[in-house]
Structure 1
Amino acid sequence: MPNRAIIIGTGSALPSRLLTNRDLEAMVETSDEWIKTRTGIEQRYIVGEGETNSFLATRAAKNALEMAGVRPQELDLIIVGTLTPDTPMPSVACLVQKELGAKKAGAFDLSATCSGFIYGLSIADKFIRDNRKMKILVIGSEVLSRRVNWTDRTTCVLFGDGAGAAVVTGTKEDRGILSTHLHADGALGDLLTIKGLGTAHPVTMEMLELGWQYIQMQGREVFKHAVKALESVAWEALNANGWTTDQVDLLIAHQANMRILDFLREKLGLTTDKVFINIHKYGNTSAASIPIALDEANRSRLLLPGSKLLMVAFGGGFTWGSLAMRW
């Protein structure tokens, strides 16, 4: 039996401030009914005073390490999927390493937007296939509220902040990550983008006036590509492992929009009880979306030994991916 990567602990963390749809009604021209009908979102959490990406990521990491029974000093690697780091340098992963005291661990961020956690698990899987004794911390953490234009009702209603984490190690048993499937199409990047704050468009008054520091999205086009890509990459994982859809015990998809989740469920022929949903509570938390959902499912005992789990994500870039595992 080859080395397999298994998840032995999960954790998540949310910021302190709850922002409901009713709260948004006082901030921008929208309504609770409009938001729920179009997105399924009822509320989201956003950072308050002193709360940063690395703060949330560290809290989620500590929760995952506690569940796993792993000390920070045992970690070999820390991977953080994020598009909203505290600073360009040092990385969120390095800041988490410092806060945890994980002096032995290498640490780096990766930028794959909403697919970041699946990309991170894929990298961890490759390391552990070579050395099953490794212990790797994979985190998805975002502070999207700092990249949202709160006067743009088409985007500000969608996003929330949060972090999720998983501790990954190896086994010789017939379980764990079975396959990962990663894709991207940079030609479509302008459909969902933050144009400013990088080296191509550094901070200037002109850049700020254009609003390039904020998320800009062509919603209908993003939806069209997202549903097609998610269905395709889900089938890719199923076919790679010889699974039929009725063998899937739980689908954890990126929580972007309830309409996307419903579309995917119908295309795969899954019953509602096999699709994990928490978008109504947190909104779209990008790279944090899947690990937060994974932690909730795990702590709710929806994942039992041997459960067949399918994860799928789609995000800006464009990036998308899937992962199949036996819990």
Structure 2
Amino acid sequence: MRLNAKITALGGYVPPGIRTNAWLSDISDTSDEWILKRTGIRERRILANDLGTSDMVVEAVQNLLMKAEITVEEIACLIVATSTPDMPMPSTANIVCRKLGIKQTFGFDINAACSGFLYALSLGASLVESCRYKNVIVVGADKMSSVLNKYDRTTNILFGDGAAAVLLQSSTEKAGVMDSILEGNGEGMEFLNIEGGGSRYPASMETLLSKKHFIKQEGRVVFRNAIAKMVKVCRNLLEQNQLSIKDISWFVPHQANLRIIEAVGKELGIENEKILTNVQYYGNTTAATIPLCLWDYEATIKKGDLLLLTTFGAGFTWGATLIKWDI
């Protein structure tokens, strides 16, 4: 009998610090009206300077464990999707294991930018479906404020910090992670990136002065590609599963920009009432956006609902996933 991987618990965390549009208006050439018109974002959560991505992951996992029927010792695998690890090595997942007191767990990071959570979810589901691991926790987490030039209005209005986690366990029922299409091509790497800090541009006075350690984005190119890629992959996934958009209970897109979300929804022909959003209050938390949205709307989503998740990120990377809810 084929086993499916289903989500049995969620946890999330957003830091208490809030960066408002008014605050950004004081330090850069922008305004609340300008930001709302172009992004729909009202505020973002910002983590304290002396904390890292791992601290948010710990909070999200602990929040999950409060509702799950497992203990820390029963976590068999921890996958952290992030573009802002605490450090190049060891992995953030490894650091989280130490902070949680986990002694022997298979844990690793994955970096697919904003698509990271769906990539990690597919990997985690495969581990559960193969029967090799029983309790797999998948986390999307990013401290985007750590790579953000707060004076650059092309990026400072968009990004925030946060983390959210899901627990994957096996099920013989037709529920859980049903199917995914995940893609990427690298053709957009110059339009959305953080050049500095890797092996190509290791940290130096030159990379610091040229601001290579900050995220940079060509907004128009990213905007156009995000809509086209997410619409196409969603249509392909629905067709692959002999479904129509009318079969979808809830649409959960990557929370990058409200205009992008609305454009994708319109192209797919899904009602606005079925589109879940929280970008207004968190901004773009990169790998955390989709799981944070699921966490925020946990009371709204009902058992048996069919969810369509989609994402687009740097590289470019993109994808879509179908989930039949079973909590």
> What TM bracket, shorter-length normalisation?
over 0.9
Structure 2: which 5+ residue stretches go unaligned?
none
Superposition pairs for residues 251-270 of structure 1, below 5 Å? Answer: 251-270=251-270
Q: With the length of structure 2 as denominator, give the TM-score of the two structures.
A: 0.97
State whether structure 2 residue 106 is matched by structure 1 residue 106. yes
Q: Is the 8 A contact 2:127 2:133 kept in 1?
A: no
Q: Give the aligned residue type for 2:227.
A: V
User: In the aligned structure 1, how far is the partner of 2:19 from the partner of 2:322?
Assistant: 34
Task: State the match for 1:304 in structure 2.
Answer: 302
Task: State the match for 1:313 in structure 2.
Answer: 311
The CA deviation at 1:210 is 1.1
Q: Is the 8 A contact 2:118 2:320 kept in 1?
A: yes
User: In the aligned structure 2, how far is the partner of 1:128 from the partner of 1:244?
Assistant: 28
User: In the aligned structure 2, how far is the partner of 1:56 from the partner of 1:62?
Assistant: 10
User: In the aligned structure 2, how far is the partner of 1:103 from the partner of 1:122?
Assistant: 25
Q: With the length of structure 1 as denominator, give the TM-score of the two structures.
A: 0.97
User: In the aligned structure 2, how far is the partner of 1:237 from the partner of 1:79?
Assistant: 24
Alignment CA distance shift 1:133-1:155 (3 Å) = closer
User: In the aligned structure 2, how far is the partner of 1:56 from the partner of 1:319?
Assistant: 24
Task: State the match for 1:287 in structure 2.
Answer: 287
The CA deviation at 1:256 is 0.3
Task: State the match for 2:119 in structure 1.
Answer: 119
Q: Is the 8 A contact 1:12 1:165 kept in 2?
A: yes
Structure 1 consecutive aligned stretches of length 4 or more whose deviation exceeds 6 Å:
none
Q: Is the 8 A contact 1:132 1:169 kept in 2?
A: no
Q: Is the 8 A contact 1:9 1:64 kept in 2?
A: yes
Task: State the match for 2:185 in structure 1.
Answer: 185
User: In the aligned structure 2, how far is the partner of 1:49 from the partner of 1:269?
Assistant: 42
**1:51-95 CA-partner distances (Å, limit 9, x unpaired):** 210000110011112222211111110000000011111111011
Secondary structure of 2:27's aligned partner = coil
Structure 1: which 5+ residue stretches go unaligned?
none
Q: Is the 8 A contact 1:194 1:214 kept in 2?
A: yes
**1:258-301 CA-partner distances (Å, limit 9, x unpaired):** 11100111011111110001110000000011110011111xx2
Secondary structure of 1:153's aligned partner = coil
Greater fraction helix = 1
The CA deviation at 1:47 is 1.1
Superposition pairs for residues 12-51 of structure 1, below 5 Å? Answer: 12-51=12-51
Task: State the match for 2:323 in structure 1.
Answer: 325
Alignment CA distance shift 1:173-1:133 (3 Å) = farther
Q: Is the 8 A contact 1:132 1:170 kept in 2?
A: no
Q: Is the 8 A contact 2:276 2:293 kept in 1?
A: yes
Secondary structure of 1:103's aligned partner = coil
The CA deviation at 1:102 is 2.5
Q: Is the 8 A contact 2:77 2:133 kept in 1?
A: no
For the aligned residue pairs, the C-alpha RMSD in angstroms reads 1.1
Superposition pairs for residues 204-223 of structure 1, below 5 Å? Answer: 204-223=204-223
Secondary structure of 1:303's aligned partner = coil
**1:282-323 CA-partner distances (Å, limit 9, x unpaired):** 00000011110011111xx22111100111010001111111
Q: Is the 8 A contact 1:8 1:67 kept in 2?
A: no
Q: Give the aligned residue type for 1:271.
A: E
Alignment CA distance shift 1:11-1:247 (3 Å) = same
The CA deviation at 1:132 is 7.5
The CA deviation at 1:6 is 0.4
Task: State the match for 1:152 in structure 2.
Answer: 152
Task: State the match for 2:167 in structure 1.
Answer: 167
Q: Is the 8 A contact 1:45 1:161 kept in 2?
A: yes
Q: Is the 8 A contact 2:254 2:311 kept in 1?
A: yes
Per mean C-alpha deviation after superposition, the further-off stretch among 59-68 and 34-43 is 59-68
Secondary structure of 1:151's aligned partner = coil
The CA deviation at 1:202 is 1.1
Q: Give the aligned residue type for 1:11.
A: G
Task: State the match for 2:95 in structure 1.
Answer: 95
